[in-house]
Each structure stands twice: as C-alpha cells, then as structure tokens.
Amino acid sequence: MKSILKYPFFLALDISSPSDAWKFLQEHQLNIGGVKLGPKLILNAGWDFVTKASKIAPVFLDFKFYDIPSVTLSAVKQSFDLGASFVTVHASIGAEALSLIYDFEKEANKTRAFKVLAVSILTSFAEDKQLPHWKDGKIIDKVKCLANLVKQSGLKGFVCSPEDLKYLKPLYPEFFFVTPGIRLNSDLKKIENDDQNRILTPSEALQEGSDALVIGRPVYNNENPSNILKSIILDCKNK
C-alpha cells in the first residue's frame, strides 16, 4: 500500500473554496504523496471533486464515518466507487462494523489498491481535555484498546497522534500508521488558531514510525508552499 504514494505524506486540502483548492492541487501535484479531502472542501465542491482529484494523486477521503454497520459499510463502498484510495472510519464503531469493512477492503483490493484507515482518538484531545464519559486513564490506553480492536477485525490502517507511535509501533508493526498533528518547527509547533494538541514535526513523526504524514495548514498558509513541500520531501528521504 505504501507504494502508491510517491512520498509518504498527504496534503490536507482543507480549503473552503473549490476553485482555490483545485488550483493549489494542480500547482503542487508533483510535490505531494497523496491528497486528503474532507468535509470543509467536499461539502462545497461536491463529490465529483473526489473523482477528479483521484486522477492527479491518491485520494484520502477523510469523513471519519461513524454509524451502524450497514450504513458505515455503504459509505466506505461509495468512497471506493468515487475513486478514493484511502478512507477513514472511527475505530470505535465496533467489531461487527470493522469486520464487515475488512471483508470489503479485501474484495476492493482485487480491483485496485484501497485501504480503510481506522481513526483512534482525535489529535485535538489532550490529557486535560478528555470527554466526560471516557473511563479514567491516559489517552494512550484508550488508543491501545482501539488498536487491538482494529487488529482483531483484520484491518491494518490506523490513524493516531504521532506521539502515540512510540507505544504502538512495537505492538503493531504490521499496521500502516497515518499521523495528523504534524507541525513544521519543534520550537514553534503551534500555529495561529491551532486546534491540534498532540503533535510532532515531520522528521520526528517519521523517526517514530509513521508511514504517512498528514499536513495541511502549515503548507497552504505559508507564503512559499513549494519550499515547504520540498523540505517535507527532504525530511522523508532523510528519515
């Protein structure tokens, strides 16, 4: 699955304007591994944008599906039909849904490369910002429980904070780890209006064992995104 990405990172194209997003993707398509598309863009641009973008780079459709098993499975199937190569579901949808989705993933891969990514705990959560209905304990303990559930289903794609990798990589070496929460400078990781808490730089995340980074705002909010993308590529080559 790694081989379909030119470089081990996705550009998170979280831009509201479809025309601006398409222009940015076209301008920088040679310097990305894949493109992550989510609600902020697709609810404005329409589902056709997924199919169109898939002609340029592998598409990671990030809607984090969470519903009853049949509905979640249907959403995953439709994502594949639109041209997505990666799609997210919440790991907490449970064993039944995850197993059904794994069965479809196996069938889909007979046609083309397709990986379902199970999302653990969002990187916006921190130890002091946990949900009130969660059991007491550290976030990493909850992430480990979800990783074990995913493994039992047969799925191997897993989304987590890059900070979690040092705990997870030794336990699940077969997983394809995708890590959002990537910031460019270890001394200035937080950017304006940032809602990410558990974060690392590209080189730090790669050294911890990330298979694919997710990075958006630090790229397209920069005055020179081309230079930023090239520096990320260099980090990937020198990991």
Which residues are tagged catalytic?
Answer: 64
Task: Identify the H or E element spanning 200.
Answer: none
Distance in angstroms (rounded) separating the CA atoms of residues 76 and 84: 9
75, 102 Cβ separation under 8 angstroms = no
For residues 201 and 207, give the distance between their C-alpha atoms in angstroms, rounded to a whole number. Answer: 10
Distance of CA 45 to the CA centre of its chain: 20
Burial (0-12, 13-18, 19+ Cβ within 10 Å), 151: middle
Rg (Cα) of the chain, in Å, rounded?
17
